[in-house]
Amino acid sequence: MDASQSLGAHPIDIADVQPDFLASVTYKWQLGPYELAYLYVSPRWRETGRPIEASWLARADAADFTGLVDYTDDYARGARRFDMGGYPQFILGPMALAALEQVLEWGVDRVRATIAPLTRLIADEARALGCAALDEGERVGHMVGVRLPGGIPSDLTARLEAERIYVSVRGDSIRISPHVYNDESDARRLLSVLRDVI
């Protein structure tokens, strides 16, 4: 399961979903740095799963540098067997940990409750402008896709960036994903540009 677009802003109940593997990037909703990712491994695969990458760091006793010449084909115990080769990130690791601690302190439900009114406002106002946007019951609360009635103008991204508004154009839709640092004035600035474009 790829939870990159949800983890940190939308609750995921591991006990309910029971994924074999759940992966997510550290940035986006976890507020962490690039170049790292998170992986949850179901208990059933922690001792028997076979990793895709054959890193020496994912082998048994790899942390014992005095015995590195005694290479083994056995994997590390538990989910560590699935670590990628560059996981010892001495700078990025503490950054990612601090970001996760912040998200946990806020609480995923509070993050969602903070962001959902903004995406609701954007969706409602965009529909009033003639755009297409899913109703809140048909999407997650932390992001919304908006389709303009005349399609995406070629200069839309540049116009938004000129106003310091950063969204992602995906095909014929604008993916808008505010975070807790955004507020209603940010949403109104976005809507103002969309109104001018339409």
Q: What DSSP string runs through 153-190? A: -TTHHHHHHHTT---EEETTEEEE---TT--HHHHHHH
Residue where a domain terminates, one of 106, 124, 158: 106
Residue type, 166: Y
**Are 102 and 167 found together in one domain?**
no
CA 66 vs CA 70, 83, 106, 107, 136: distances in Å: 9, 21, 42, 42, 57
pTM, two decimal places:
0.80
In this structure, is residue 38 part of a structural domain?
A: yes
Q: Which domain holds residue 115?
A: 108-197
**Are 91 and 121 found together in one domain?**
no
**Are 153 and 118 found together in one domain?**
yes
**Are 115 and 174 found together in one domain?**
yes
In this structure, is residue 95 part of a structural domain?
A: yes
In this structure, is residue 130 part of a structural domain?
A: yes
CATH number at residue 191: 3.90.1150.10
Q: pLDDT, tens digit, for every residue of 105-155?
A: 999 999 999 999 999 999 999 999 999 999 989 999 999 999 999 899 999
What pLDDT, on a 0 to 100 scale, did the predictor assign at position 78? 83
**Are 115 and 187 found together in one domain?**
yes
